[in-house]
Amino acid sequence: MSRLNPLSEITHPMGRLEEAMKGLQAGMTPVETLPEVLDSLRRVEALLERLLLIQEAEAQANGFMPAQASGRGGPRKRAASA
């Protein structure tokens, strides 16, 4: 509407800026959830590692030897960014 009425630019100079900020805030919602997603993935990874350890212990108790070359079951090294 401000394009049709140039006086609104004078009376409401922050209108366009406020609208742009609302759009930016709406666009940031997915980014704001990333820390929660990362925490959830870390919990899932830890649970999967525990399940793997249990499965390998049961296999060893039943006489099956898990492949040692895989390196599974030990602590995993994290990337430098984590």
- The more confident residue out of 32 and 74 is 32
**Average pLDDT score over residue span 58-80:** 68
Domains of the chain by residue range: 1-32, 33-64
**Average pLDDT score over residue span 51-70:** 80
Q: What are 9-57's pLDDT values in tens digits?
A: 677 767 777 888 888 887 777 778 889 999 999 999 999 999 999 999 9
Q: What is the pLDDT of residue 39?
A: 95
pLDDT of 2 higher than 90: no
CA distances from 32 to 26, 38, 62, 68, 81 (A): 10, 11, 47, 40, 18
Q: What is the pLDDT of residue 74?
A: 58
